[in-house]
Chain A
Amino acid sequence: MEKQQAAIYLNSVTYRAGEKEILHEITGTFAKGKITSVIGPSGAGKTTLFRLCNGLLSPDSGRIQIDGRDILSLDPISLRRQVGIVLQQATMLEGSVRDNLALPLQLAGEDLSEEEAARIVQEVGLDTDILDRDSKSLSGGQKQKVSIARTLLNRPQILLLDEITSSLDRVSKQDIEKLILQINREYGTTVIWITHNLEQAKAVADQVWVMMTGEVVEAGTADLLDHPEKEAVKQFVKEEEA
């Protein structure tokens, strides 16, 4: 029953880089149509988990299902369009913002219309003037917004957002929070996002995963952060709030 409602289901997923075990037997589900926050200290393996779900990496053992289908049975290209990822670095390709936004469509042999370009930048809270700016000249926050817009243009059913608010000011952070809620409500997109901000994690999520040293130490509804069970999680919450 639970498995059928899973957008992503992980079963005992282990990932190694060389000798080092980066993820250790991760089991869990990301509920379909819900928003899940993933939190945890630096180096916990959060980004690695996302890269596995988007197919940029494959687990050394264990299985991943996307919408009930084994990830290995999906074509990598359609998988990556279905499970969109906004990478932590917000890498921009040389060229204008418009060129960057056109990328996902271009890769599929399509063009980005002017209306679509204007609509998407406004949706992420940017002015349409930005379309002609050189992408390398953008601020960190603007890059993050453009890279969200770029991934959204693939119309993913599942959206993985890796610390996309880290360079944003307070107002922009709130804009992005609203955007996440809006995407989730309007299109029913499953959103999973990594954040270092516990307030955000609680405010904009149905569920929370807490990861530490390659393992999921606690998972449940968002209010688990108010009264964590594990000592390590209590400690982490206390440090983050301080």
Chain B
Amino acid sequence: MSQNGRPRTLFEKVWNTHIVREQSADAPAVLYIDLHLVHEVTSPQAFSMIRDRGLKVRRPDQTIGTMDHSTPTTPRNELGIIPVADAMAAKQLDTFTKNCDDFGIPMYALGDEHQGIVHVIGPEQGLTQPGMTIVCGDSHTSTHGAFGALAFGIGTSEVGHVLATQTLLQNRPHTMAVNVEGKLGEGVTAKDIILAVIARIGIGGGTGHVFEYRGEAIRSLSMEGRMTVCNMSIEGGARAGMVAPDDTTFEYIQGRQHAPQGADWDAALARWRQLPTDDGAAFDQEISLRADELIPMITYGTNPGMGMPIDAAVPAPEDERDINRKIALEKALAYMDLAPGQQLLGKAIDVVFIGSCTNSRITDLRQAAQFMQGRKVADSVRMMVVPGSQQVKRQAENEGLHEIFRAAGAEWREAGCSMCIAMNGDQLQPGQYAVSTSNRNFEGRQGKGGRTFLASPLTAAASAVAGSVTDPRAMLAGLN
């Protein structure tokens, strides 16, 4: 219980301790930002803005850069360098290097041992910690909420605001408790939880809200699993998703490069233990799901809310009462070239992508590799495995996972966003179908005309082996 007796949520506690100026009738709250992550794509115009006004970066020591979105993931050349073939991407990367140099911001460049997807490196370096406010010009900043931080994506103008002032104008969002009770069955993962949540509430269901994921199934997840869940909060419309920090969180952070040490660690731990939502604290909204009722999920449409249990049939537009939703579903099925009532199980696919800030961490790769061990990617399928960071890549290689993937016939790449956003040449061809562990199945997201089925790393691996959409549980049973 809080000092003044009123029970508070995790969100409220973090929000309240970061107020520089309270929200008023005239203006939103001014919120202090503890950590600002920057990358090459959404920052150049923000740097130009502060340069044009003759401003400095207020806290370069609370800012960190990495290259990820437009970087190639092709293998290094004989000099150990990863060449950038695309001239515009090369210019953007050079601009980013210059901006970080000019303003004194530490940055992990392409090829650096710490480089990687911005939402993978923050936690892995111990920069992401409970109770912090974290922003980045990227909507999947919600990932960092897995640590009990308030973390959300911002636009480029706001990137400029944070660079110059370390603050942001924010209206206080509402809160939504997302309760996931019970235990996940074998072959069902964190990705399936979040796809089920989004299928339930729809992609606008969380607009204006911060989610707090609660319940036994969330508590049982690894930090990587919690990150997968929080990552896709934005696909439910919520700018942020949070999980209360606990021993799993503290164990993950302890000993990482930027984690507090010695007496500082003890003090931090004492603070962090105060963060979880008090008993009896009220949320503006609440939804509940049973983990034991979940099976692997897959999307069939062109937004992440168009998801279903993998053994279900594609819904029919004529069953949709709302006219706008009916049109959206018709349009989605036309783009995906799927028929109402069709089963996705057994649907032939062309590409499998394991990667992205949703599912490119070591546990994701271990899960997929364990499944691929002794199996082969179907001849008709191209499978790409793209680790989320150079550190994940090294760790995976130390564990021999890359050998398993290669032996199975998959490509093992350098770290980056890759086919999640198709900015770097890794992309689908028009008409191709992919099972992808990323977070967005929007039209053209993975390449113009490409068609995406979002799923877990296990479902992706099973589908790669079978050459078609496959429920991993069937093959897991065969394995044991």
A and B: bona fide binding partners: no
* B contacts, CB < 8 Å to A: none
* A contacts, CB < 8 Å to B: none
